[in-house]
Amino acid sequence: MTLATATNEHLAHISNTLIYSAMAVYTLAFFAYIAEWLFGSRSKVARTAHALTADAAQKAQAPAVTVKKAGGTAVLERPKVVTRAVAGARDVPDGPGAHGGDAQGDLYGRIAVSLTVLAFLVELGGVVARAASVQRAPWGNMYEFNITFSTVAVGVYLALLALRKNVRWLGLFLTTTVLLDLGLAVTVLYTASDQLVPALHSYWLYIHVSTAIFCGAVLYVGAVGTLLYLFKDSYENKLASGGKPGTFATSVLERLPAAATLDKFAYRVNAAVFPLWTFTIIAGAIWAESAWGRYWGWDPKETWAFITWVAYACYLHARSTAGWKGRKAAYIALIAFGCWLFNYYGVNIFVGGKHSYAGV
């Protein structure tokens, strides 16, 4: 065994250790996010829900147009117009957050974010060590793709958190998904550190695959926002119709941003990354011509990447169409992300093709 080989194996072992260490820290962050939701003030949430019910009942009545007299001249007093993100959306304030406006809950939330940052740095170290162990990009197989994807997803969350102060509600859902993703990676998808097949020896590996990973991470964030929008919209509809949601729904959903805010957030995220996903497909076609002598051959991976692109294009078009805004567009967005997930897992694992080298 040569010294170079031993060094590579040593770095690969360090990478594995760092990935397991990151999972441990993510687990601590997960429990901290749970504590943020549990120990946040529930009384403020309940008061907000009652205020929302009263406000919804009041707004259910058509606003009256009153006429005032000023100096003998009749003055028409028009009702105020409220601009909403989606046709038919209610003018509902955002919830206080997972901590419920409580100082103790906010403390747990800050601890959770700090642990998330630490876990992100440890996992990033594991990805870098994996790359150094073979002197190449760390996404040559499904295991490497998984650990890189989860790292980028957390990075996107932390970047949004630095830019916007109201996205901490993503933390619990993110850490849950990351733990599942890494658990799948180190068990079912694990592949020993090794060199690439000849077809992957190209600078397009850095361009095409890295953009695909980044797009997937951003689309994941958009999908979480869309899913929570559907739950929050149903909750607000029930309040507006005079219904009384259960204690659990009030405690959890009332802390989230308003449905219109979640819908706008998901739309902006998906719309922002869509051009990059378009570039990803084009870059893949250029790489395919270099590696296989054709730009497009309807390989399963190529086909599902295109299907995903069409699905998100339909979503963006639906958002600009009056009759398809809101929940209908949200369903299309979830279907589109489902296509991306199948392209990510299903095609690589269950479907054969020229991209089979990216399997487990």
Q: What's the longest Cα–Cα distance across the chain?
A: 102
CA dist 275 to 224, 289, 316, Å? Answer: 20, 22, 12
Average pLDDT over residues 294-307: 87
Q: At 330, list the tokens.
A: 């949200």
The three-state secondary structure class of 147 is helix
- pLDDT at residue number 291: 75
Q: Please give the model's pTM, rounded to 2 decimal places.
A: 0.82
* Short-list 263, 272, 182, 172, CA closest to 219: 272
Q: Which pLDDT tens digit goes with each residue over 69-86?
A: 555 544 444 444 444 445
Nearest 10 degrees: CA dihedral of 315, 320, 323, 327?
40
- Residue 94 pLDDT grade (very low, low, confident, very high; cuts 50, 70, 90): confident
To the nearest whole number, what is the mean pLDDT of the chain? 82
Q: Which pLDDT tens digit goes with each residue over 130-172?
A: 999 888 888 888 899 999 999 999 999 999 999 876 799 999 9
Calpha distance 130→115 (Å, rounded) = 22
CA dist 172 to 106, 165, 252, 256, 302, Å? Answer: 14, 16, 12, 12, 33
- pLDDT at residue number 353: 62
- pLDDT at residue number 174: 94
Surface-to-core class of residue 101, CB atoms within 10 Å of its CB (0-12 exposed, 13-18 middle, 19+ buried) = middle
- pLDDT at residue number 351: 74
Q: Which pLDDT tens digit goes with each residue over 10-48?
A: 898 999 999 999 999 999 999 999 999 988 876 555 555
Gyration radius of the chain over CA positions: 24
Higher pLDDT, residue 282 or 53: 282
Surface-to-core class of residue 180, CB atoms within 10 Å of its CB (0-12 exposed, 13-18 middle, 19+ buried) = exposed
- Residue 197 pLDDT grade (very low, low, confident, very high; cuts 50, 70, 90): low
